[in-house]
Structure formats: structure tokens, C-alpha cells
């Protein structure tokens, strides 16, 4: 007996619910793998910093125990942090340098950027090209000419050598960021101000500069971080102990202790850990307080215009 096949019967459609469940499961697995890998990278990157913090609370004798290495101090001590008090004059020098640079680098960058962003004049493209071309010059190429120039001007072994550059444009990259930011403002603002009788200085100080507060804050924060951690500049131009920045002063102090025997060298190492923790506080505080400005600062200058 022959069996009749109903050719008009539709084929069984795949279960859409099962496909959705499989897709969701695959996405969850992929997300879980990403989180696990991210956590591993975070642990690897943060471990040296945590190790430094733990060592800063150990005594020199405890660090000499050898194997096994202790990660957590057996007896917490804050004695290593007393070393910071010896460098208060150097800390004041550092804060003076930071205050001047963080104030005048963004302001001078705004001064240079304003005519390039808001005005048209003969040779504008040439001036902009020359400024931007300086980004391509390696800093090491300028070290010797700058050193000779500073000695001839009498800036050698003076704090002025660390902040004199803040008055001369603030750096090509900062100028570029401010130019891009200023180009995002409508030209009608300038025209309306001119109709009301404002000149270029009034337009700059009362209209454009207040609107640049975000990019100014970003440049100031990067200046604080840069000069707080700067070592090369003070090492080149500062030779008197009274002029040392805190990083340079502790560098010489640490090298002297290392040459005085193993016991003193161990004391120097735990003091170095404490000083390193202290030096990392400022960048961390700035990041946690202004992370939105620091992360979005480049975007502010990049998407405008």
C-alpha cells in the first residue's frame, strides 16, 4: 500500500526561541571572558603599586628577612613617611613651579590660539604650519641648545628655568587643542560683540576665554602632572640643593644612602617606597577628581571645528 506524501505541507521552521537563547548564552560567555581577562590585566598592572604601598609600611629589618617575601607587613609602621618632612623646602620649590606653569601655560596657549582660530590675517597658514611643525622635533635634539641658551640668559641654577617657557605659547599641542576648541564657537558672537563696541581684547577676555574653561582645566591638569613628576628638567638646570625639586632632592639623597652599606641601603629602600607613594598621591587625586575632564579633554579639542 503506497503512502501518499503531502507535498503542500510546510517544512518545520527552526525554533526561534532556542536560537535567541543560544545567542544570549554566547554573548554572556563572551562578556564573562572579557571581564575575567580585564580583571587579570588589572591585577597584573596594580600589583607592583600595591607591593610598593605594603613595603612602605615595613621596617628595614623586616625587608631583610629574605625568602619568603612578605607582601603584607607583619608590623605596620609609619616611620618611613617621616622622610617627607626633610624635603619640605624642595616641596615648596616644586609647588611654585607647578603653580606658575599650571596658570600660564593654558593662558598663553589661549593667547596664541585666539588669532589663529578667530581671525584672518596674511600668513596665518604659514604661522600655524610653523607652530605645528615643532611637534615633530624630538625633545632630545633641543636639550643642548636649550641648555646653552639658558646659561647665556642667566637662567641656569634658578627656578625661573623651570617656568619661563610657560609664557611663550604653552606648547604646540596645547595651542592646537585650543584652536580646535575655539573654532567650535559661532562667529556671530564676535560680530555681535563688535556691533556693541567691543575690541579684540574685550572679545577674548569677556567672551572667548570664559567659554574655554574646560580645555583650560584640562591643560592645567596635564601641566600639574607633568611638572610634579618632572625629573629631567631640574636635573639639567638646577645644581644648588636649595633649588632642588622634591624628586631631584630625594634622588640624590637616595643615591648617597645606597653607598653607605647594606643596612642603611635597606632603610633607603623602604624610604624610597614611602616617597614613591607620596609622589603618586597627586596624580591619583587629580585623576579621581577630574577624570571626566582628563579623559574628555582630547575629545574637546578634536571634535570641534
Mark whether 158 and 281 lie in a shared domain: yes
Mark whether 164 and 280 lie in a shared domain: yes
Mark whether 27 and 125 lie in a shared domain: no
What is the pTM for the complete model shown? 0.81
Mark whether 236 and 202 lie in a shared domain: yes
- Counted domains in the chain: 2
Answer yes or no: is 62 within a domain. no
Structural domain of 91: 80-303
Grid coordinates 595651542 are at which residue? 175
Q: What is the pLDDT of residue 77?
A: 86
Question: What is the Cα–Cα distance from 267 to 263, expressed in whole angstroms?
Answer: 7
Radius of gyration of the chain (CA): 29
Mark whether 145 and 212 lie in a shared domain: yes
Question: What is the Cα–Cα distance from 111 to 120, expressed in whole angstroms?
Answer: 15
| Among 243, 264, 256, 234, residue whose Cα is nearest residue 87 | 243
CATH number of the domain where residue 267 is located: 1.10.3720.10
Q: Residue 300 — very low, low, confident or very high, per pLDDT cuts 50/70/90?
A: low
CA–CA–CA angle 246, 53, 253 (5° rounding): 30
Question: What is the Cα–Cα distance from 268 to 83, expressed in whole angstroms?
Answer: 10
CB 209 within 8 A of CB 189: no
Answer yes or no: is 74 within a domain. no
Mark whether 151 and 259 lie in a shared domain: yes
Mark whether 26 and 87 lie in a shared domain: no
Answer yes or no: is 192 within a domain. yes
pLDDT single digits (tens) 254-270: 887 777 655 567 777 88
Mark whether 135 and 209 lie in a shared domain: yes
Amino acid at each position: 500500500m503506497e503512502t501518499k506524501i503531502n507535498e503542500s505541507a510546510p517544512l518545520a521552521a527552526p525554533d526561534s526561541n532556542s536560537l535567541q537563547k543560544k545567542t544570549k548564552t554566547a554573548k554572556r560567555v563572551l562578556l564573562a571572558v572579557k571581564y575575567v581577562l580585564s580583571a587579570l590585566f588589572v591585577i597584573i598592572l596594580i600589583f607592583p603599586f600595591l607591593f610598593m604601598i605594603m613595603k612602605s609600611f615595613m621596617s628595614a629589618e623586616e625587608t631583610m628577612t629574605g625568602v619568603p617575601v612578605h607582601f603584607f607587613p607583619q608590623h605596620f609602621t609609619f616611620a618611613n613617611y617621616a622622610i617627607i618632612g626633610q624635603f619640605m623646602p624642595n616641596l615648596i620649590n616644586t609647588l611654585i613651579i607647578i603653580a606658575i606653569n599650571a596658570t600660564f601655560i593654558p593662558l598663553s596657549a589661549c593667547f596664541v590660539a585666539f588669532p589663529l582660530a578667530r581671525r584672518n590675517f596674511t600668513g596665518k597658514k604659514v604661522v600655524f604650519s610653523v607652530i605645528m611643525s615643532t611637534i615633530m622635533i624630538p625633545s632630545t635634539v633641543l636639550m643642548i641648545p636649550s641648555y646653552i641658551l639658558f646659561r647665556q640668559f642667566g637662567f641656569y641654577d634658578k627656578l625661573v628655568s623651570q617656568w619661563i617657557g610657560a609664557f611663550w605659547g604653552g606648547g604646540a599641542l596645547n595651542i592646537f587643542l585650543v584652536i580646535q576648541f575655539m573654532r567650535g564657537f559661532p562667529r556671530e558672537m564676535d560680530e555681535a560683540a563688535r556691533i556693541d563696541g567691543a575690541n579684540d581684547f574685550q572679545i577674548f577676555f569677556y567672551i572667548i576665554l570664559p567659554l574655554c574653561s574646560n580645555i583650560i582645566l584640562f591643560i592645567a591638569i596635564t601641566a600639574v602632572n607633568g611638572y610634579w613628576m618632572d625629573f629631567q628638567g631640574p636635573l639639567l638646570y638646577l645644581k644648588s640643593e636649595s633649588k632642588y625639586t622634591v624628586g631631584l632632592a630625594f634622588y640624590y639623597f637616595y643615591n648617597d644612602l645606597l653607598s653607605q652599606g647594606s643596612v642603611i641601603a635597606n632603610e633607603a629602600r623602604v624610604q624610597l617606597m614611602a616617597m614613591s607613594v607620596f609622589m603618586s598621591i597627586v596624580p591619583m587625586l587629580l585623576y579621581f577628581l577630574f577624570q571626566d575632564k582628563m579623559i574628555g579633554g582630547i575629545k574637546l579639542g578634536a571634535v570641534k571645528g
